[in-house]
Structure formats: C-alpha cells, structure tokens
Amino acid sequence: MMDIIRAHVRIRKEKNLTQADLATRTGIDQGDISRLENGSRNPTQNMLKKLADGLDMNLHLEFVPKKLDRAYFDEA
C-alpha cells in the first residue's frame, strides 16, 4: 500500500498541489490526507478513487502472480 501512497505524494508534488489543494479537490479532510501520507492511516478504496480523481489520474490495482506460470494464463 505504501507504494501507492508514495506515488500519490510524488504526483501531488509534481502537480504543485498542497494537501489543502487536494483536500478541496477531493472532499477528503486535509488531516486525513496528512495521515495517509505519513503512514498513520490506511486509505479506503473510496479514498483512493477520490485521490486519483483529484490528481486527474486513473487508479489501477490488480493482483498478479509473482512467478508467471503459463498454466495460469491458459486457464483464463
């Protein structure tokens, strides 16, 4: 999860947005954004969607096997 949060912080800073700016765009309390970014709060799926929307980004989460196995793909 921290990789997602690190990416969120990087993108927010690249877009020159403060936590307060993002709070206004997303409707998420600035304190909650701060807690997400410092690791003291875990985001909900809804929060991640709002953050992505507020950053004008798409959010793509998926489970991918660590070891690619041809049989895994043949079954699908």
Read off the pLDDT of residues 1-39 as tens digits, 9 standing for 90 and up. 778 899 999 999 999 999 999 999 999 999 999 999 999
CA dihedral 12, 61, 1, 4 (to 10 degrees): -20
Residue 68: pLDDT band (50, 70, 90) is: low
Give the integer Cα–Cα distance in Å for 48 and 21.
Answer: 16
Please tell us whether the domain made up of 1-76 is placed in CATH 3.30.70.980.
Answer: no
Helix residue ranges per DSSP H, the chain: 2-14, 19-26, 30-37, 45-54, 70-75
Q: Crossing angle for the helix pair 19-26 and 45-54, nearest 10 degrees?
A: 110
Q: Say what the pTM is.
A: 0.77
Query: Which pLDDT value is given to residue 74?
Result: 64
